[in-house]
Amino acid sequence: MIFSTDFLLVHGREPVLYPKERSVPRMEKRRCTTCPAASKYIVAFSNLSVSIAGKKLLSSVNGIAKPGQLLAIMGPSGSGKTTLLNALSGRTPLDNQSSLQIAGLPLDKRHRRRIGYVTQHDVFFADLTLRQTLKYTSELRLPDFFTDEERKLNVDRIVQVLELEKCLDTAMGGGMKRGLSGGERKRASIACELLTDPPVMLLDEPTSGLDSTAALGLIRCLKEYAKHEQKTVILSIHQPSSQIFHLFDKLLLLHGGQSVYFGPAKEIVEHFSLVGLPIQVHYNPADVIMDYLKGSSEASDRLLRYWKSSKGVGESKEKEFKFDSTDPGIPLLSTQTSETWSFVPPLQTPEKPSLWCSDNSTCFCDNVQQNEINVLVESEALPIKCSEEGDSGRSSWSDSQSHGDNSSNCHSHSSLLTSYDNKWPTSFWTQFKVLTRRNFLEAKPRMLSKLNWIQTIGLGLMAGFLWLQLERKEETISDIQGWMFFSTTYWMLFALFGALASFPGEQEVVNKERISGAYRLSAYYSAKMVGELPLVMTMPALYYFISYPMMGFHNVSTFLLLLCYLLLNSIVAQSAGLFIGALCMDFQASTTVSALYTLAMQLFGGFLATKVPPWLQWARSLSMIHYAFQSMQMVEFSGGPLIRCASENSRFSSCNQKENGTIPYHLIIEASGNPILPLEVNTVILFLFLLIFRVLGYIVLRYYRTPR
């Protein structure tokens, strides 16, 4: 795979990633040349420490990443690369005294949403194709003022740059479902983040799963992206090839959660030599570095002590780090034959370390302390010079937002930040529409699978034949009730258990999107309810259309009313399932809770047990089956032809008084020992169940399952 050398120049097309023409006024003539808007996104961290459950994962890590540069974080497995990226993205809480500033301000929710984060594990909806995934991402994360054509243009260009054209119609896959290859998924992940044009891009192991050519192409592409778009790109990488290594501007080396080097990547060889750890000319520095770090603890101790002493960090601040001049150095693992071991005489610690200051203009004070970060960011940010130069055409929508129609088009750093005050990129209505469509598409294969169709048709026919053309007489009352009870309980179980995995199944994707601020939870939640509504109703309706006419069709209004109650019951059950699923987020726990709840609802539903002990009567009022079953009886026994009395030994006293009489519907319901509520009250109670479960589900997601 070969990437274009210029990230934006694709086969000679216009080098604009984001549309030039839009309704939002943008600068045409004057632009800030020294500091384009996005270039203010300097990421500076000092004394950055992270502890989880009392375990220190990161300890006093310092560094700074500037727009236009590629900062690579390297270190052995478990050294804390992902933890650091999580901390920089605001997903992991920092220990006290840690300092993290983005664009000169402490990282807050608003800035968090301007950070693109490609995590190590790509999470997508497995059944959506890449085309659909990118389309929905662009609809959700690009502001409303983008037209459909502009969105499509952006998607097309990013697809082209990342060479994803061939797999656009392939399902994303994941879990048990086959789909995109590992490398394609990784590039798809990057494409989703690039669509939003973030000023800061964090990538956790972006080259994992790629072959060496593709990996090199990707890093080149990111480098060009950082350079041309003035973006801050920070990535973690395990063991890059030497070609990739030489593309890094800055390198942060981690070992055991501590930094052992931060500075220009090209000066790492000199640094290691200073410490007495030579890197031979023809070796890939990345390989040698990793060998040292993973090899004897002496090498890493030496690096750490040197780093601490030279930087004046932590305990070693007091101690002078001294090399013994007779020290033979540390043997290199990868060249462990006596002939190739090479040692250089260790040097004394330089009095004033300037390892990464290649020249004054790029010399960052890497011994970054809080006040220095402030000074640095301040000095980088202001003043912004203006020129009369034309727009190069490279500014992104974010730039244009910040520029607005201000005549000077020169905004202070803080005004850039306030341009992101809009909490969400799109309106509630847009989010609702897009998420409803996406939800429908995503849930359809799961809820309307081939097996579900077969199962429903089979069950409908079975029930139809079992209760075929029932006569309307006293002897068949329990059969008619049996069909109604079976239908309500079966579809309750189907909807409730089917909904249990709904939230847990998409939790990772939704959390990722919520953290990146793509949409409101309320929009997602209401879209889920609406998007899945036709799906949750399809199967019960199909079953009903088959089995009820086979049992005996009487009139249209009874037919439709019964259908409504069956569907309402299913929707209530689905709401309960969604709530339990969200609460437990664990399939085993949620099935146990649901099994208990549904069994209790069946027992108190009014068909299996007609004599409920007085002290347990309250439990009946918690059974949704009780209300749905009773409502269906009312509709069926009052709407259709009345039930004829048994010719002899009728259990209804009214039947014994006259011959060929009929049984009023309320006597049938009363005979089952259930107190009768008016149909409207039953209906309202069912709707209340629906409302309560849905509100509880929202509260759980909002306050209990907040993504971190």
| φ/ψ of residue 578, rounded to 5 | -65, -40
* Sequence-separated (6 or more) residues with CB below 8 Å from residue 197: 17, 18, 229, 396, 397, 398
Tell me which of 31, 40, 66, 81 binds ligand ATP, using CB under 6 A. Answer: 81
**Binding of ligand ATP by 206 (CB under 6 A):** no
Tell me which of 36, 63, 67, 75 binds ligand ATP, using CB under 6 A. Answer: 75
Give CA–CA dist 368/349, Å, rounded.
19
Least separation in angstroms between residue 189's CB and ligand ATP is: 16
**Binding of ligand ATP by 260 (CB under 6 A):** no
**Binding of ligand ATP by 80 (CB under 6 A):** yes
Tell me which of 52, 375, 595, 691 binds ligand ATP, using CB under 6 A. Answer: 52
Give CA–CA dist 676/317, Å, rounded.
82
Q: Are the beta carbons of 537 and 499 closer than 8 angstroms? A: no
Give CA–CA dist 388/399, Å, rounded.
17
Least separation in angstroms between residue 240's CB and ligand ATP is: 13
189 or 602, CB closer to ligand ATP? 189
68 or 75, CB closer to ligand ATP? 75
**Binding of ligand ATP by 53 (CB under 6 A):** yes
Q: Are the beta carbons of 532 and 444 closer than 8 angstroms? A: no
| Residues of span 510-549 touching ligand ATP by CB under 6 A | none
Least separation in angstroms between residue 412's CB and ligand ATP is: 36
**Binding of ligand ATP by 39 (CB under 6 A):** no
**Binding of ligand ATP by 77 (CB under 6 A):** yes
How many beta carbons lie within 10 A of that of residue 453, not counting itself? Answer: 13
Nearest to 482 by CA among 397, 599, 606: 606
Give CA–CA dist 38/68, Å, rounded.
10
Least separation in angstroms between residue 102's CB and ligand ATP is: 20
How many residues in the shown chain lie near ligand ATP by CB under 6 A? 13
Give CA–CA dist 423/437, Å, rounded.
23
**Binding of ligand ATP by 79 (CB under 6 A):** yes
Tell me which of 78, 312, 393, 458 binds ligand ATP, using CB under 6 A. Answer: 78
Which among 78-86, 149-157, 301-309, 486-494 is the span making contact with ligand ATP, rule CB under 6 A? 78-86
57 or 443, CB closer to ligand ATP? 57
58 or 134, CB closer to ligand ATP? 58
Residues in the chain: 708
**Binding of ligand ATP by 240 (CB under 6 A):** no
**Binding of ligand ATP by 55 (CB under 6 A):** yes
* Sequence-separated (6 or more) residues with CB below 8 Å from residue 45: 61, 62, 63, 64, 87, 88, 98, 99, 100, 101, 368, 373
* Sequence-separated (6 or more) residues with CB below 8 Å from residue 311: 62, 353, 366, 367
The CA-CA-CA angle for residues 389, 395, 398, to 5°, reads 135
Q: Given the structure tokens 């080097």, which residue do they identify?
A: 261
Nearest to 206 by CA among 85, 79, 118: 118
**Binding of ligand ATP by 394 (CB under 6 A):** no
56 or 266, CB closer to ligand ATP? 56
Least separation in angstroms between residue 81's CB and ligand ATP is: 4
**Binding of ligand ATP by 57 (CB under 6 A):** yes
77 or 361, CB closer to ligand ATP? 77
**Binding of ligand ATP by 83 (CB under 6 A):** yes
Site residues for ligand ATP per CB under 6 A:
52-53, 55, 57, 75, 77-83, 238
